[in-house]
Amino acid sequence: MELGYHVPIFDIDGGTTAIAGELARVGEAAEASGATWLSLMDHFFQIEPTGLPAEANMLEGYTTLGFLAARTSRIDLGLLVTGVTYRHPGLLAKTVTTVDVLSGGRAWLGIGAAWFEREHRGLGVPYPPVAERFERLEETLRICAQMWDPDNNGPFEGKHYQLAETLCNPQPINKPKVMIGGSGERKTLRLVAQYGDACNLFGSPEEVAHKLDVLRRHCDDVGRNFDDIRVTILAHDGPEPGATDEFVRTMADYAKVGVHTAIVMPPGGSPAKWIDGIAPVVPQLAELN
């Protein structure tokens, strides 16, 4: 099992002027630990599940990934996950391509149907009903695939999006892998089977095992090899520095049901120091099958 880091909190010791330096240290610490994934949220207001109010600090995700791309060299970079409503699909594909080129081929497209209504209303972003958001999500996945096909610069005609040209130069160094967030059995996991390179799930090992059985059936329906999909979980109860054994035991149960990557969330304050403190968990997780 591999380890990833997901940074949701930007309330940093030292205040606003300390954020950039701390994030640079986060990138360095994440790579030094041997982790394979570093992500941020795609939000403009802070979200309640972090335990912080909407007014807490939040940075725009892709700008921050560009900053991290310049301060890392090996770790994969992405957002967990982009809300499909926030950016036109053609511009989203171009943005992810830019991160990929400037990072030397390390960008992922993490994407989902979006959910934070307050953020949409607050900033004047249209917030269509959930059925339409999923329609837009599928069209966006198709548009990105076309944008990243160097042999197809032609038009795209969808229900919600119409593009006269899907021109994207330069092309990504590595075609960005697609992580689809969410675990809805009828829509989201079907999209993972059809378009995704990875899924991001949550719940107990038994609940994750059930979701993977559903995903397997969707893969069978579309003729997709289930083993080609990387399974990740967001581990809300991450390890404590100096006390990683219990976390490893918990993750062993997830490894048994087929989880490849556990993603943990550093706290605010001094997240780089926290990452340094839990770095010994990386080789421990690597021993899990």
What is residue 77's three-state secondary structure? strand
Q: How many CB atoms lie within 10 A of CB 286?
A: 12
pLDDT attached to residue 236: 81
What tokens appear for 88 in the block?
């036109």
Dihedral sign for Cα 242, 261, 96, 73, please: positive
pTM of the model: 0.95
Residue 106 near residue 76 (C-beta atoms within 8 A): yes
Cα separation values, 102 from 70, 135, 283, Å: 8, 31, 29
pLDDT attached to residue 237: 78
Q: What CA–CA distance (Å, rounded) separates 71 from 119?
A: 30
pLDDT attached to residue 238: 82
Instruction: Phi first, then psi: give them for residue 158, nearest 5 degrees.
Output: -120, 180
What tokens appear for 192 in the block?
């993972």
Cα separation values, 221 from 24, 194, 200, Å: 44, 9, 20
pLDDT attached to residue 241: 86
Q: What is the mean pLDDT of each run of 10 residues along the chain (289 residues)?
A: 97 98 98 98 96 96 98 97 97 98 98 96 97 98 98 97 98 98 94 97 95 97 97 89 89 96 96 96 92
The residue to which tokens 């921050």 are assigned: 64
